[in-house]
């Protein structure tokens, strides 16, 4: 491998270790992939992040969806959705999958995350969808994930966890942290009886403002912070009566 590829492989390992150190993931349940030319570099299956080396990262040709790989270890059992996302979404350069606590709690309840906070718009729409359930490591799960990611850069996975994507690994990791933050906040709002949901018009205004901050579709700002905090400009749109999401039962995907 050349110097550039080795650097990407090492960055994947460091991101995996950071996920566990921060609590975004546990054990080897998460996995990460990064596009490199016509191949996808992906974490190996059931391998401790602490003992992982660049040589252990599997390389999968994107032109071949059969599961063929190069490397001493098999790729993550979730390679199906990693390859499917990379093949169908050329703008995505990195994919992060974790079993983070609050995103997984909502996924266990099969709940979407609605527009409970304006940062939901950072993922491309007015909600973050929960993909329908399918057994881990299957083509069926990959199909369900692709459907949930249509027009979005992240999704939950029913009874499983979350997926966050980005143009590169740094952006995908930012998206994973942001998604878990939103999931935690939404969970606490549900405990209070429900979250007031922003209207479609309000979210459209947010997405328009995000364009000037470089946050659209999961792209972080150049400066630290969650998003634009200056007061919103007055809108000429009449705001509908806020909707409230109750905590009695989650919708089933």
Detail the DSSP E strand segments found in the chain.
31-36, 39-42, 58-61, 94-98, 130-131, 154-157, 161-166, 195-197, 243-245
Contact 130, 155 (CB under 8 A): yes
Per the annotation, the verdict on 78 as an active-site residue is yes
In the block, which residue shows the tokens 């270790």?
17
Letter string b/e over residues 8-17, b meaning 16 or more CB atoms within 10 A of that residue's CB: bbebbbebbe
Cα–Cα distance between 38 and 209 in angstroms, integer?
34
Q: Which of 14, 50, 70, 78 is catalytic?
A: 78
Write out the catalytic residue numbers. Answer: 78
């Amino acid at each position: 491998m050349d110097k550039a590829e080795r650097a990407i492989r090492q960055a994947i390992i460091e991101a995996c270790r950071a996920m566990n150190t921060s609590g975004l993931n546990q054990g080897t349940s998460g996995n990460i992939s990064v596009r490199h030319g016509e191949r996808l570099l992906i974490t190996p299956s059931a391998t401790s992040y602490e003992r992982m080396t660049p040589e252990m990262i599997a390389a999968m040709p994107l032109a071949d969806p059969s599961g063929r790989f190069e490397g001493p270890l098999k790729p993550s059992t979730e390679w199906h959705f990693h390859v499917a996302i990379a093949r169908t979404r050329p703008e995505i350069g990195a994919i992060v999958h974790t079993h983070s606590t609050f995103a997984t709690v909502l996924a266990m309840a099969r709940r979407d995350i609605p527009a409970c906070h304006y940062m939901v718009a950072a993922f491309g729409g007015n909600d973050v969808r929960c993909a329908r359930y399918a057994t881990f490591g299957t083509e069926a799960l990959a199909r369900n994930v692709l459907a949930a990611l249509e027009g979005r850069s992240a999704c939950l996975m029913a009874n499983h966890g979350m997926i966050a994507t980005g143009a590169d690994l740094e952006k995908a990791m930012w998206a994973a942290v942001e998604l878990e933050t939103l999931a935690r906040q939404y969970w606490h709002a549900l405990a209070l009886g429900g979250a007031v949901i922003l209207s479609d018009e309000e979210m459209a205004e947010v997405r328009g403002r995000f364009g000037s901050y470089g946050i659209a579709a999961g792209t972080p700002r150049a400066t630290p912070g969650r998003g634009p905090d200056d007061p919103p400009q007055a809108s000429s749109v009449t705001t509908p009566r806020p909707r409230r999401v109750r905590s009695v039962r989650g919708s089933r995907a």
